[in-house]
Structure 1
Amino acid sequence: MFQAPNVFQRAPLPSATRESEPRQQGPISSATAAGTATADPATATHGNPAAAPAKKRDPYFDNVKYLAIVLVAMAHAWEPVMEGSRTARALYMVAYTFHMPAFIVVSGYFSRSFDMSAAKVKRLVTGVAVPYVVFETAYSLFKRYADDTPDHPISLVDPWYLTWFLVALFVWRLTTPLWQALRHPLPVALVVAVLASFSPTIGDDLDLQRVLQFLPFFVLGLRLRPEHFDLVRRREVRMLAPAVFAAAGVFAYWAAPRMQLGWFYRSNSAQEMGAPWWSGAVMTLLMFGCALLLTVAFLSLVPRRRTWFTVLGAGTICGYLLHGFLVKGAGYAGLFDAYDWLSSPAGLVLVSVAAAGAVTLMCTPPVRRLLRPVTEPEMEWAFRRGGAGR
């Protein structure tokens, strides 16, 4: 299972007989996910941006982003060692059910004000498009040389590994005005996702299967208001959340040897996974309901107050984009194959702790400052002076 217009940063996360490859999941950018407790400063100061106070970050959403990115990193680290362990596969299925949907819902929530103005388009380019180009190239080169696959292509239209989320966020953000204009956007988005689930001709360009099948979560986020999060955080919801996760764990343990993981990745149509076309529609709706239930349970358990990890929420884009090098690098080096005991309960605990610790370090302020030129570039040279004000 995820800052500025990019959900990570500046503020506000198979064939017919085989399972599809987990073309990794991604998180939220700071720009869209850093919560704010105040109204837009430009309107709060009667249209005088110069007098606008800095937006106040809501620690709750920073906590959500950090905890979700930890789940993403842990789940990616489980992939190479979970085969042969039914328990690990079940935990992986539970995490994949909701960690990306949670990121995407929060991304949509902080995209509500996107209106194609020059300033917001600039932030979309600098906070999403530029990181995508840089890290898609970096990951492709990493695989080419670290995995000794010199023919691995560098393609900006076929996202590889973690970078699909940036492409999806870019597309979703651009279509925000459309969803805001519709009378019933969520049902329409669900119809789009259902149609995509049994349309094998969509192809791999821009990972459109994932873009379309995850779309309902983004549109749901666009429809949410602060009072909806207040409902989620009510005491009775928090009390029910552990039971929800326990039930999900039991069901996942039963389903682990029976269910294809491709349903969780949403990167293929039903036919590409060897299933009848109608199962795509059924599974899309069932997975949406399960993801929504677990997302609510997760959001209810996240602390509202400022904690030791709240500051790390602003650096989740760094943790997201960097931890893939660690996981893939360990795989290319043969680490997971050399130590079979990593599939044991003790090994899984060690892998989980290592992944959580590594991604935590990657979200720290020093790392964020170091990566700012590529994750939050100013790029004033690329935009017309005063264009952001029109």
Structure 2
Amino acid sequence: MFHADTPAGQNEQSKQNEKSELTKPRDAFFDNAKYLAILLVAIGHSWEPLKGGDRVLQGLYLVVYSFHMPAFIVISGYFSRSFDMSPARLKRLLTGVALPYILFEIAYSLFGRYANDDPHQRITLLDPLYLTWFLCALFIWRLTTPIWKLVRHPLPIALGIAMLASCTPDMTDDFDLQRLAQFLPYFVLGLVLKPEHFVWVRRRAARVLSVPVFVSALAVGYWAVPRMNAGWVYHHDSAQEFGAPWWAGPVMMLLMFGCSLLLTAGFYSWVPGRTTWFTALGAGTLYGYLLHGFLIKGAGYAGLYDHAWLHRPYGVALVTALAATAVTLLCTPPVRRVFRSMIEPDMEWAFKRDAAEPARDRTRLERPVVREKVGV
């Protein structure tokens, strides 16, 4: 028997955890939540070129952007709880997060250069482009998971880091560290949540309470349009970059965190826990996330958003329906089969095999394999 505190014991425990993950069935609630969240992400991106002077749409946009990424990131943190720097998990991190980041950072750069005829668009892995910031952040967040599991009060520490970042204009733009730091508390919150917390938030009382919360959020969003810089919801800049005093950064960080949590909890409360027609699509949300950006950007490059009728209510409704349909199709199995080599590559040839690997391979053949969830 190995002692749990020895390296051999830790390695044995990691293997046992991996085996339990392989046999554990997927939870329909989380797949449903991931699909509905990616739906909101795509719809929000499709609204961005249309919101212009439409105060109602701008208010809706602020509300959606206040919680759609936090809802994603909390789930990402929740499914990162078992990350322990074991070789198997590091391999999945490299192939499922780092490699897609590199490939799509290059792909979006080339797309901007040639589809938008922008010769100044350069390729760099230090400056995440468009959607790729999330993969860069997830890679770094997940690497720090053992630290958050070690410290006694991880969430207050993460909030402190986010508050400091919000009033630090000189923070480097490399790897989008400003946004990474300001969204960090949501990832850490996911790490400390337990299954019973998601059961609690899905009670009928929570759904009832979520109605006035969302109604109030819509009213506040409409009120805030001419009064608040929309950049606060992106968590991409410091207070000083908005022309605000330094202390506004920490204050807004705490206010946004509280509002985002209320809306995220309200969102989760309405996510069905049963298997639905879109549950299976939850396993492909990373595909929808990374691929829908080409459609949104392509439409902008082609000047499709320049048509005046698209900025009217029926035009916005049509764009919303098209975005929802497109991202749904991008999560389907046929699309996943086509792009799997880019988004979920099997790169066993690139890694060393330990002596016990053949025996584990034989064990895996006897049970269905469930891939570790990336969070989107």
Q: Above 0.5 in TM-score?
A: yes
2:169 counterpart (180, 189, 200): 200
Question: Does the CA contact (< 8 Å) of 1:119 and 1:387 recur in 2?
Answer: no
Asked if 1:130 is matched to 2:74, the reply is no
Mark the CA change 1:95 to 1:47 in structure 2 (over 3 Å): closer, same or farther.
Answer: closer
1:64 counterpart (22, 33, 36): 33
| CA apart distance, 1:52 | 8.2
Asked if 1:379 is matched to 2:347, the reply is yes
Distance in 1 between the 2:355 and 2:37 partners? 35
Equivalence for 1:157: 126
Q: Which SS does the other structure have where 2:229 is aligned?
A: coil
Aligned positions of 1:236-275 closer than 5 A: 236-275=205-244
| CA apart distance, 1:56 | 0.4
- Most deviating of 376-385 and 181-190: 376-385
Question: Does the CA contact (< 8 Å) of 1:179 and 1:185 recur in 2?
Answer: yes
Question: Does the CA contact (< 8 Å) of 1:189 and 1:219 recur in 2?
Answer: yes
Q: Which SS does the other structure have where 1:201 is aligned?
A: coil
| CA apart distance, 1:340 | 1.1
Distance in 2 between the 1:179 and 1:384 partners? 29
Q: Which SS does the other structure have where 1:183 is aligned?
A: coil
1:112 counterpart (65, 81, 88): 81
Asked if 1:191 is matched to 2:160, the reply is yes
Equivalence for 1:82: 51
Equivalence for 2:315: 347
Distance in 2 between the 1:259 and 1:360 partners? 32
Q: Percent identity?
A: 63
Write out per-residue CA displacement over residues 11-66 of structure 1, whole angstroms, 9 at most, x where no aligned residue: xxxxxxxxxxxxxxxxxxxxxxxxxxxxxxx979x949789863300111000000
Mark the CA change 1:311 to 1:181 in structure 2 (over 3 Å): closer, same or farther.
Answer: same
Aligned positions of 1:248-327 closer than 5 A: 248-327=217-296
Write out per-residue CA displacement over residues 55-96 of structure 1, whole angstroms, 9 at most, x where no aligned residue: 300111000000000000000000001111101000000000
1:365 counterpart (333, 348, 364): 333
Mark the CA change 1:300 to 1:131 in structure 2 (over 3 Å): closer, same or farther.
Answer: same
Residue 287 of structure 1 aligns with an amino acid whose one-letter code is M
| CA apart distance, 1:247 | 0.8
In proportion to residue count, which structure has more helix? 2
CA-atom RMSD in angstroms: 1.9
Write out per-residue CA displacement over residues 284-312 of structure 1, whole angstroms, 9 at most, x where no aligned residue: 00000000000000000000000000010
- Most deviating of 53-62 and 355-364: 53-62
Equivalence for 1:14: none
Mark the CA change 1:288 to 1:52 in structure 2 (over 3 Å): closer, same or farther.
Answer: closer
1:141 counterpart (103, 110, 117): 110
Equivalence for 1:210: 179
Distance in 1 between the 2:308 and 2:356 partners? 55
Mark the CA change 1:50 to 1:348 in structure 2 (over 3 Å): closer, same or farther.
Answer: closer
> How many pairs align?
347
Asked if 1:92 is matched to 2:61, the reply is yes
Residue 93 of structure 1 aligns with an amino acid whose one-letter code is L
Distance in 2 between the 1:354 and 1:111 partners? 33
Q: Which SS does the other structure have where 1:214 is aligned?
A: helix
Asked if 1:356 is matched to 2:324, the reply is yes
| CA apart distance, 1:275 | 1.1
Question: Does the CA contact (< 8 Å) of 1:186 and 1:219 recur in 2?
Answer: yes
Mark the CA change 1:320 to 1:50 in structure 2 (over 3 Å): closer, same or farther.
Answer: closer
Mark the CA change 1:50 to 1:274 in structure 2 (over 3 Å): closer, same or farther.
Answer: closer
- Most deviating of 168-177 and 266-275: 266-275
Residue 316 of structure 1 aligns with an amino acid whose one-letter code is T
Distance in 2 between the 1:149 and 1:191 partners? 40
Write out per-residue CA displacement over residues 192-241 of structure 1, whole angstroms, 9 at most, x where no aligned residue: 00000011111210000010000000000000000000110111001111
Asked if 1:54 is matched to 2:23, the reply is yes
Distance in 1 between the 2:18 and 2:82 partners? 16
Distance in 1 between the 2:120 and 2:179 partners? 25
| CA apart distance, 1:374 | 1.1
Equivalence for 2:366: none
Distance in 1 between the 2:102 and 2:137 partners? 13
Residue 137 of structure 1 aligns with an amino acid whose one-letter code is I
Query: TM-score, normalising length from structure 1?
Result: 0.86
Residue 206 of structure 1 aligns with an amino acid whose one-letter code is F
Distance in 2 between the 1:286 and 1:170 partners? 27
Residue 186 of structure 1 aligns with an amino acid whose one-letter code is L
| CA apart distance, 1:388 | 8.8
Q: Which SS does the other structure have where 2:23 is aligned?
A: coil
Equivalence for 1:229: 198
Q: Which SS does the other structure have where 2:170 is aligned?
A: helix
Equivalence for 2:148: 179
Distance in 2 between the 1:50 and 1:234 partners? 32
